[in-house]
Structure 1
Amino acid sequence: MSRVERGACFWGAIEAEAVGKPFGINWDHDQDCRKAIGSPMMIWIGYRSEQLICTAGQPKTFSKTRGVTRSFCGDCGSCISYQDAGLPSEIYLCIAFMDAPERFEPSAHGNWEERLLFVEMSDRLPREARYTRPRQPALGLPRDR
């Protein structure tokens, strides 16, 4: 039997299921995500697009950076996901969207060079200066678009 994780926005208007194991879970410390979600850092859970099934509602989307689409609940504003055209067929769910966030332990820190210096992390996870996953070279990195 496949792993099934459920998530919902704060209001409950948007619900989804993620089927199977995520391919990656990481802390993200970049300024772009901080601004978009209103938090000093984020934990993103990476799934293949076909693993995600929206079971209720339809999130709203926006894009400030070419090739990057973020989704959120239009009723309560909860962050739901992040997609980057440089990472085709991948979707990253916000850990706060998940009903059981404790089941998603991060394995790395991304964008460590952009971290807020007053936030101390005592774990021994790898710290990547920039992104934890390579993007398609033709698109470049989101910060350079």
Structure 2
Amino acid sequence: MDVREFRNCMGRFATGVTVVTCKTEDGYHGFTANSFTSVSLDPPLILVSVDKKTKAAEYLRNNSFAVNILQEDQHAVAMHFAGRPNENQLFDWHESVHTVKLDRALAHIECTPWAEYDGGDHVLFLGEVQDFTYTTAPALTYYAGQFSKLEHAE
């Protein structure tokens, strides 16, 4: 199978854009992710898929984390955490009871570790939702390798 073409095919599924954040002994960490989904309502569980070769996989192992769903004007924040750091302060950290999260996100979902599973070249981290907040601002979306805006209807 042509891996690049498979990736292009999967890119036809429009997703929201998130930054997963956590804190460790050496500070705050975050990475952009669109491999995120709700798993269960009872108990409330979510899943984040992380490449095994990244530091992010180490940071999340047995660690609380937050999924920060980005607003449509947070493209620069997504890029910063996708490995293209910007020296200008694009965001502010906010410590909570369970972890650390980003100010101004559309939604925050704070989780404690539930389970982790082998997912081929990724690790699937399930988190039990401990707290969440959200607003009604428009979301940043990702489709076919590009950031885009979603028509927002109330």
- TM-score w.r.t. structure 1 length? 0.29
- TM-score w.r.t. structure 2 length? 0.28
